[in-house]
Amino acid sequence: MKAVLFLALHTDEDHKMMVKDVYGRINVPQSYLAKLLQELSKHNVISSARGPKGGFYLSAINKELPLIKIVDVIDGEQRLRSCLLSIKECDSENPCALHHLVGNANSYFIENLENTSIADLIVDVRDGKTVLPL
């Protein structure tokens, strides 16, 4: 998340960044970040270019992607959507004992991840409404 937001803020088709210019800014080891970015790139969540003048960047299309893509690629689609008590399906029809604790909080969060694009967040950061501690 940090890396993608950082890239969203500082890169585009004409301004790429290498992992070695990013990892220090977000306090993540270089190799680990490389693997994460490669994974995101492979799934077309972010873009990359090899060779000199290459690097990672977010295309205009990338920036319009919903945030949920990032967590789905990195953590898997089940990470946020599974029942707290491991019931097969989490729905309000047959709620587990903990279901109401979360209430619509979790689905609210997921829906926000689905409906908010990377670009949306960057707008707020640029407007100073939110802060990116990088």
Partner DNA sequence: GTTAGAATATGATAAAAATCAGATTTAGGA
Partner DNA sequence: TCCTAAATCTGATTTTTATCATATTCTAAC
For residue 87, with 0-12 CB atoms within 10 Å meaning exposed, 13-18 middle and 19 or more buried, which class applies? middle
Using CB under 8 A as the binding rule, the residues of this chain from 38 to 77 that contact a second copy are 67
At its nearest, how many Å lie between a second copy and the CB of residue 60? 19
24 near DNA (CB under 7 A): no
For residue 97, with 0-12 CB atoms within 10 Å meaning exposed, 13-18 middle and 19 or more buried, which class applies? exposed
29 near DNA (CB under 7 A): yes
Using CB under 7 A as the binding rule, the residues of this chain from 40 to 99 that contact DNA are 41-42, 48-56
87 near ligand FES (CB under 6 A): yes
For residue 132, with 0-12 CB atoms within 10 Å meaning exposed, 13-18 middle and 19 or more buried, which class applies? middle
CB nearer ligand FES, residue 44 or residue 94: 94
Name which position in 13, 15, 24, 35 contacts DNA (CB under 7 A).
Answer: 35
Under 8 Å between Cβ of 48 and 42: no
At its nearest, how many Å lie between ligand FES and the CB of residue 87? 5
Beta bridge partners of 117: 66
Cα(89)–Cα(76) distance, rounded to whole angstroms?
16
Q: 74 is written with which tokens?
A: 């990195």
38 near DNA (CB under 7 A): yes
Q: Catalog residues that contact DNA under the rule CB under 7 A.
A: 17-20, 28-32, 34-35, 37-38, 41-42, 48-56
